[in-house]
């Protein structure tokens, strides 16, 4: 089932916001096998795994790993591919704006030492993942927001630019007209990119980048840049990252939960399933929203699970790109 169809069926419109859209068609995936439903769990290193159908991003990250670069470099370079893709209306350039027409970006990155950097409500800078890395590496802080984050980015050499593409502006104008701030259905190519990588030294890094929920209230920040929610890495154990309705991920500190469950002995798959179960048991409205998680452990085993059908995962492992729809809760 296509994501578009899923969103329609799941009546996301009742949320008052629009979940980022997703993708499903693999373009130019020469080496990508698309598998209908699968939970790949066998371990093998190095590896890259990302939320949604983003074969170009995972291929770039894989290329970095093949050059002998670190998992952190792989994450940054991989995420940048989608941030620069103007057609993707939920990340970086071309991201759908908030209800006032501002494109505001959230991103974070974590390295093998457990260091973390994030930007929230960043405007006019195409590569929030790289700014997040600069926050981690060049400042004594971990999160920078809004104007200050933008000024910091410019001081680091990032060029400010208008991120609202004609297509996204048109979609926003249409949304304003027809829905009068009521929700509509989002039909873009993909949403938040959460990516985890393990390099040939066995070191894990992760990143998460998004324009957040389309037509969100001005000032809204989701799970994606928040450590433990949108992303968590513990190089002794593994890593996890999230996509979907950020409010639900935040309330259950989903990615941290998954890593802690793996620490207690659960497989990445079992841990993702347990984190989804926390959400659905606490919120009876789960039929109206989607959340998806991916995880890896130190052995290179992977897991992925979502509330509903339609979540996709991309991997690059054993020299092979793959895209598959994982098992889901609401059958």
Find the shortest distance in angstroms from Cβ 191 to ligand ASP.
Answer: 3
Residue whose CB is less far from ligand ASP, 18 or 45? 18
Q: Find the shortest distance in angstroms from Cβ 131 to ligand ASP.
A: 17
Q: What are phi and psi of 121, to 5 degrees?
A: 55, 45
Nearer to ligand ASP, 134 or 220 (CB): 220
User: Closest CB to ligand ASP among 210 and 255?
Assistant: 210
Up-side HSE of residue 163: CA atoms within 13 Å toward CB?
A: 30
Backbone φ and ψ of 39, nearest 5°: -120, 105
Rounded to the nearest whole angstrom, what is the least distance from the CB of residue 90 to ligand ASP in the complex?
6
CB within 8 A of 326, min separation 6: which ones?
37, 38, 39, 292, 304, 305, 306, 311, 313
Which of the residues 22, 51, 58, 192 is marked catalytic? Answer: 192
Residues that bind ligand ASP (CB under 6 A): 19-20, 90, 191-192, 210, 212-213, 222-224, 243-246
For 38, other C-beta atoms within 10 Å of its C-beta total 15
Smallest separation (angstroms) from ligand ASP to the CB of 227: 14
In degrees and rounded to multiples of 5, residue 320 shows phi and psi of: -135, 130
Question: CA-CA distance, 280 to 284, in Å (whole number)?
Answer: 6
Minimum distance of ligand ASP from residue 10's CB (angstroms): 13
Question: Which residue's CB is nearer to ligand ASP, number 267 or number 283?
Answer: 283
In whole angstroms, what is the distance from residue 66 CA to residue 220 CA?
38
Of 212 and 326, nearer to ligand ASP (C-beta) is: 212
Nearer to ligand ASP, 19 or 75 (CB): 19
User: Minimal distance in Å, beta carbon 140 to ligand ASP?
Assistant: 27
Would you say 58 and 320 are in contact if contact means Cβ atoms under 8 Å apart? Answer: no
Active site residue 34: no
Q: Which sequence positions are flagged as catalytic?
A: 192
């Amino acid at each position: 089932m296509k994501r578009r169809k899923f969103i329609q069926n799941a009546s996301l419109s009742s949320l008052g916001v629009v979940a980022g859209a997703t993708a499903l068609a693999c373009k130019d995936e020469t080496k990508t096998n698309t598998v209908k439903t699968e939970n790949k769990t066998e371990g093998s290193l190095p590896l890259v795994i990302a939320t949604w159908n983003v074969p170009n991003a995972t291929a770039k990250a894989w290329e970095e790993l093949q050059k002998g670069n670190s998992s952190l470099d792989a994450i940054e370079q991989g995420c940048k591919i989608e941030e620069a893709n103007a057609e993707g209306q939920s990340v970086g350039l071309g991201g759908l704006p908030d209800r006032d027409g501002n494109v505001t970006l959230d991103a974070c990155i974590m390295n093998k030492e457990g260091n973390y950097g994030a930007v929230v409500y960043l405007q006019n800078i195409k590569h929030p993942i790289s700014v997040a890395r600069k926050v981690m590496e060049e400042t004594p802080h971990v999160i920078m927001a809004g104007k200050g984050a933008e000024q910091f980015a410019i001081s680091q050499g990032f060029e400010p630019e208008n991120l609202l593409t004609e297509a996204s502006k048109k979609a926003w104008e249409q949304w304003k007209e027809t829905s009068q701030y009521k929700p509509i259905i989002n039909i873009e190519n993909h949403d938040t990119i959460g990516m985890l990588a393990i390099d040939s030294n066995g070191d894990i890094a992760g990143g998460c980048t998004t324009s957040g929920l389309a037509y969100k209230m001005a000032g809204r920040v989701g799970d994606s840049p928040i450590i433990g929610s949108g992303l968590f890495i513990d190089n002794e154990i593994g890593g996890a990252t999230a996509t979907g309705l950020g409010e639900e991920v935040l309330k259950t500190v989903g990615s941290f939960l998954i890593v802690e469950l793996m620490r207690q002995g659960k497989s990445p798959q079992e841990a993702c399933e347990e984190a989804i179960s926390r959400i659905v048991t606490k919120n009876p409205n789960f039929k109206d929203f989607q959340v998806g998680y991916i995880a890896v452990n130190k052995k290179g085993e992977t897991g992925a699970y979502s509330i509903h059908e339609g979540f996709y995962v991309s991997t690059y492992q054993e020299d092979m790109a793959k895209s598959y729809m994982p098992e889901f809760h609401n059958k």
